[in-house]
Chain A
């Protein structure tokens, strides 16, 4: 049910963009809402990150996934158990670029007779990586709308992406990968009873929204073949802060842009903030050098335990009787 509602909601949003623009809301959907969305996104993310950063890290609690650095002749794991800041930085970087922890994923299953088997399970990792990277490439490719002349890097990515030269216009590999990966991520949430059980509306909605954005984009490029010159004029107007709405823009473009605006607005209030949070995770971005360097807790409370003197006072006679030395001796 949750997934149906999410899909319906995204469909309705697309229709709002589509018909809203036709009903004279071109400036609203093409200019005002994108600007608002961008502002909410930037301010929202900043507020989130500052919010996290303002809470201190009182203890250095890393998750060590390899050998510590101890004796010189024992080989330590510099990435999985970094003892330096550099190692920790590399750990986070690999986490961000390759989803390294997710790569560890395995599946435990109970067999007859009460035996567990553990097998590698890389599907989530592969789909997650496929989705994020194709999203990134699609995102970068959009620069061609925002910049004149098109930067060389963007043209290069574009060329690489359309390498197979199938179809007219050329089909981008990432368009397919993006839709397929999102489809898989959505499917697994429904197919696996355990995942269905833990999934909230807030898990289906972003997938549906991203799927809506990707599909409306695909329609624009391959089916309705929108007027790129007009779209580019709109886009450059937006980034140069001289927004205009040129004539002849396909209403589908407004649907697409409206969905992106919704994504931007939704982003800072949702789990999508993992994009920023992953860099700040204390279990990953700290070095396991606890015994080498003292970590300072800015709010270390002034707690004093049961002191020796109090203890000796209470057990004085027993200490004397059993010949355990007192403090004076």
Chain B
């Protein structure tokens, strides 16, 4: 937790400085708590990334390669020919300012360079200088800047202060997606060895062991067995998930946080109960034991490198289709990149639910179904025996995670599932949900401890909306379908709205799901006592 109190953090000054924004000067020492530690050299070495070294942003000399300006210039030139989006977004912004107060980091910090328009302008000014006629002739008058070390330091600071949430792009009249600009700017930073450890360590781990946390196969199995034991204690039912089993019908991919850390493990328990009660023929994989993909926060090549395992493993195991758990950035990759990068998945079959016969035509090519789509379909067809009163001790609201909302549009499925498994469901205010949802403030690799002040600031608009429903409806549970959220929102709630806990949607499914042969439940999956029920007193 940061040294600042809640009252100090909400005293936000939105008055822009007098100094023109084009003269950068960032005092990293004074801004501790708002930036992330650089990547450890060992991770870059393992991955074969350029310029591994030990350094700190507070150093005067960042030990850049000699020709760093040229490297970045060439890198930008290359990306301009590869991405129409980049070129267009750099050209067409009119600085109307519609995006300005849409970014949670601007709202929470008042720092004008957190306005999406200025974040993009940091790169755009250099683009003008190097690549446009007007910029070459008119220089500063045309808004062009040379790429100096100070500008580069500013890039590092602000492009690792964007969670790639894409809220700004909803409001921009040209659909300018600042997240895309951030992604490509991070690619450029990576070329000269400017990256953060909270991204590169998971990437290195994932490449080697199969998951971000670096869990090796035997520990993976132990963890799952531990959760199976816990479940047996709560429900009296012993579920039996398999690992790396060839010939299963379905490969089930989840974010690794779901089998490793609270509160994700309760969501994982929910999955296990659901799939067990159905008798789905599925397997987990210790090799493809990560649905998440921190390549998304590194470079497009890294996305592809890590995502490679998913289809590779599906093919090896000979499954028919893939089911994916609750995770935001994982689904951004599965939905928008996987098929293009590592497809075609012509060795798989178009997914069909074995229980309802529903063909998931929306996943006909990628062959990967979101578990909320899967479960919503089951509930609609009456295939689940649900007792929502087992969630009566909870008053639930739903946080739309950025990627499922703004990169897929999976809005109603989780709501339908929630309304079927809980009796007390309340929406947060309209401008803070669905496509306008506010970020948790800790995505895109920024959810680390050293960046805590910025996370709490960035998460303030979200926390505010939660506090609103907490005060109005006594909400005490914040449900979401994202593994990063489950971690970062927990911290956020602890600080801003400590009365509210965070969970996945399938944890609540697990609570409500009535299993064959189960013992009477006295607690939820967390071991918390259920609300007293009418029938109980009589018995």
Contacts and interface: CB of A to CB of B under 8 A. Distances in A.
Nearest to B100: A194
B143 A294 contact: no
Given A63-B166, A114-B10, A106 B340 contact: no
A303 B308 contact: yes
A131 B356 CA distance: 54
Contacts of A318: 216-218
Interface in A45-84: 48, 51-71, 73-77, 80-81, 83
Nearest to A81: B409
B363 A74 contact: no
A57 to B, nearest CB: 5
A53 B88 CA distance: 10
B177 A63 contact: yes
Contacts of A64: 405-409, 435
Nearest to A319: B217
B305 interface: yes
B286 A271 contact: no
Nearest to B84: A55
B416 to A, nearest CB: 7
A305 B306 CA distance: 6
A203 interface: yes
Contacts of A61: 85, 177, 180, 336, 407
Interface stretch (A23-31, A134-142, A276-284): A276-284
B526 interface: no
Interface stretch (B57-65, B240-248, B251-259): B240-248
Interface residues of B, number: 118
Given A64-B408, A295-B339, A324-B286, A74 B92 contact: no
A65 B10 CA distance: 30
Interface residues of A, number: 102
A115 B308 CA distance: 44
Interface string B87-111: 1100111111110111000010000
Interface stretch (A156-164, A166-174, A214-222, A285-293): A285-293
Contacts of A201: 141-143
A195 B244 contact: no
A95 interface: yes
B87 A288 contact: no
A324 B221 contact: yes
B409 A66 contact: yes
A291 B177 CA distance: 21
12 contacts: A63-B177, A69-B362, A75-B412, A102-B173, A114-B10, A194-B100, A198-B95, A200-B142, A200-B143, A284-B174, A294-B366, A305-B305
Interface of A: 48, 51-71, 73-77, 80-81, 83, 95, 99, 101-102, 104-108, 110, 113-116, 118, 124, 128, 192-203, 269-271, 273-274, 277-278, 280-284, 288-297, 299-301, 303-308, 311-312, 314-315, 318-319, 321-325, 327
Interface of B: 6-7, 9-10, 12, 14-16, 21, 80-88, 91-98, 100-102, 107, 112, 115, 117-118, 121, 132-134, 141-143, 166, 169-177, 180, 207-210, 216-218, 221-222, 243-246, 286-287, 300-301, 304-309, 312-313, 316, 335-337, 339-341, 343-344, 358, 360-366, 368, 373, 376-377, 380, 405-413, 416, 429, 431-432, 434-436, 460-461, 464
Q: Which 5 A-B pairs have the closest CB atoms?
A: A114-B10, A305-B308, A68-B409, A277-B92, A64-B409
